[in-house]
Structure 1
Amino acid sequence: MSQALQRIDDARLALIGALAERNWDAVGELDTNCRVVIDEVLSEPPVDEDALREKLESLLVVYQQLLEVTTGERQAIFEEMSQINQAKSASKVYHLFG
């Protein structure tokens, strides 16, 4: 495997690890690194196009998983904030009549 393809694979594996740990700081840094790696790979002399396509598609799958997880996390936070706001409102009513 060429060095360029290995760098894409390494970036993908690192993203998978950070996603599994829900380490959002690492995900942000790795996303930036992935963009740099892809830019570098695409600016280098051509590599095996089929292998490159396969590696980029596997990286895309990780990004799709990342999007699903972050959407779920955002929804969970929204629901939790809604419950907190409802509890605050109930507390205010209780204090008014208590």
Structure 2
Amino acid sequence: MQPTLQALASFQNALREALVQQDWAAIGALDAQCRALIGKAGVSDPALHKPLEELSRIYAELQQAARAERERIAGELTRLNQSIRVDQMYKAFG
């Protein structure tokens, strides 16, 4: 069980670092690896409860950050589309 606990701690650190860097590709890869590890380990061992709770908190932070990033990108796309429309109007009258 010790290797599983160490692997979970490693994933927690890597996910936190990827979140700080907003490295969404790394987060996606880590997520897939983490799911595989948890699938192999199972969750019935009481020693895994605390690390899994912490991992759950990190995932909640990741979800919040992803929502904020999605909203930021949507705002940028909206401004870009508005700029394109204004440019097209100027060209039509110019």
Whether these two folds match at TM > 0.5 is yes
Structure 2 counterpart of 1:15, one-letter code: L
Alignment of 1:69 with 2:58, yes or no, is no
- 5 Å matches for 1:18-29? 18-29=18-29
CA distance in 2, matches of 1:30, 1:23: 11
CA distance in 1, matches of 2:37, 2:12: 11
CA distance in 2, matches of 1:40, 1:7: 12
Question: How far off is 1:39 after superposition?
Answer: 1.3
Alignment of 1:56 with 2:52, yes or no, is yes
CA distance in 1, matches of 2:40, 2:82: 50
Structure 2 counterpart of 1:76, one-letter code: R
Helix, strand or coil at the partner of 2:53:
helix
CA distance in 2, matches of 1:30, 1:21: 14
Partner residue of 2:78 out of 69, 78, 82: 82
Structure 2 counterpart of 1:86, one-letter code: Q
Q: Deviations over 1:26-75 (max 9, x none)?
A: 111100110111112218xx64x0x3111101000110111111111111
Structure 1 counterpart of 2:64, one-letter code: E
Using structure 1 for the length normalisation, give the TM-score.
Answer: 0.86
Aligned residue number for residue 6 of structure 1: 6
Question: How far off is 1:97 after superposition?
Answer: 1.8
- Give percent identity, aligned residues only: 33
Name the count of aligned residue pairs.
94
**Structure 2 residues without counterparts, runs of 5 or longer:** none
Using structure 2 for the length normalisation, give the TM-score.
Answer: 0.89
RMSD between superposed Cα atoms in Å: 1.7
